[in-house]
Structure 1
Amino acid sequence: MNDIDNDIEIEKEKARKAERDKKTLTPEQRRLLLSTPVGLIASGFGSGVAPFAQGTFGSLAAIVPWLALRMLPMQLYMFAVVVAFAAGVWVCGIAGRALGVEDHRSIVWDEFVGMWITLIPAVAEGWWSVVIGFVLFRIFDVWKPWPIRLLDRRLKGGVGVMVDDVVAGVFAAVVLAVVLNALS
């Protein structure tokens, strides 16, 4: 193996390690997320430390506080979402730097805010609308159609962590509103 091939293999191994680091938590990282206010919020009150499907667990956990949010007048609900977004930019940025991975899978506050946006049309509807909203949000969050994928790749820091899920939430909310309208 020549030097160039060796350098290529080293870079490939670095890329594989970075991808593994994005998916797993060390005991120290887990402690950091669960023992600090910033970590607790960024990890969706601990839902992001699930051993797999952290985004799905975070999205499900977001339904619990949404049950209280949905009781607010719509203007206050929207204000709460804006405040949660602003707080998310800050806490997700700090948590990403602390974990050494900007958008670590255990950071799920963005799923909380995305779900709260998705569920706006479901505020006055039955439980089945929450299920449909959850499924739609997960589809858009995982699939990342344009411009979500572009935003996910281009924006950095806490803004980058939050914005793609906000846009996924908007897309899912629009589809949910259409579905609910068609079913009524």
Structure 2
Amino acid sequence: MTRTTARLIATFGGCGLAPRAPGTVGSLAALVVGVPLLGHWIWMAVAILLCTGVGYQATAAASDGEDHSWIVIDEVAGMWLAMLPLAPLPLSGLRWADGLWLLLAFVLFRLFDITKPGPVGWFDRRHDAIGIMGDDIVAGLLAAAILTGIHYLA
């Protein structure tokens, strides 16, 4: 993978180059791009796996071990993981309540990504592509677990 291609992937098509809050911009872009996958949980799972694998390679090639703010492909993988419990939602029939679930997935993911509790922080302290991708993967898993718990309690 060339460095230019790696940067294009790592910035999620340039989203990471936003002048303010590139991680939030990348997460919002992931939300928008991920909505068409709703209703197709297998395709959502495949997208997460591909994003994680390609994102890892791009991050390794473009980062030099530093978690630069312009690297947001990790936010994409994490956000899609946070959305995975919502994958059974039908795309054609999204209601306002479904929008609230999507908003909750976004808020939970960003909360864990920013505060870095427990294993999220452990990955964040690594200075390699595993750490860069790993903290957002774990943040997405935590958000998905809480979202699933809330859904079953509601």
Question: Which amino acid in 1 is paired with 2:79?
Answer: M
Mapped to 1, the partners of 2:107 and 2:113 lie a distance apart of 10
Indicate yes or no: 2:136 matched with 1:169. no
Indicate yes or no: 2:122 matched with 1:150. yes
Structure 1 counterpart of 2:99:
127
**Residues 71-123 of structure 1: CA distance to partner in whole angstroms, max 9, x if unpaired?**
43x333222211210111110111213xxx61101100000000000001122
Which structure 2 residue ranges, 5 or more long, are not aligned? 90-97
Mapped to 2, the partners of 1:127 and 1:40 lie a distance apart of 29
Query: What is the root-mean-square deviation in Å for CA atoms of aligned residues?
Result: 1.7
Alignment check: 8 A CA contact 2:39 2:88 kept: no
Indicate yes or no: 2:75 matched with 1:111. yes
Shift of 1:143: 0.7
Question: Which amino acid in 2 is paired with 1:122?
Answer: L
Q: Trace 1:7-156 onto structure 2 (pairs within 5 A).
A: 36-72=4-40, 74-97=41-64, 102-125=66-89, 126-154=98-126, 156=127
Moved more, 174-183 or 141-150: 174-183
Q: How many residues align?
A: 144
Mapped to 2, the partners of 1:158 and 1:140 lie a distance apart of 19
Question: Which amino acid in 1 is paired with 2:118?
Answer: W
Structure 2 counterpart of 1:13:
none
Structure of greater relative contact order (alpha carbons < 8 Å, 6+ residues apart): 2
Structure 1 counterpart of 2:94:
none
Alignment check: 8 A CA contact 2:30 2:79 kept: yes
Alignment check: 8 A CA contact 1:117 1:173 kept: yes
Q: TM-score, normalised by structure 1?
A: 0.73
Which structure 1 residue ranges, 5 or more long, are not aligned? 1-32
Q: TM-score, normalised by structure 2?
A: 0.86
Structure possessing the higher radius of gyration over alpha carbons: 1
Alignment check: 8 A CA contact 1:93 1:102 kept: no
SS in 2 for 1:119: helix
Mapped to 2, the partners of 1:146 and 1:157 lie a distance apart of 18
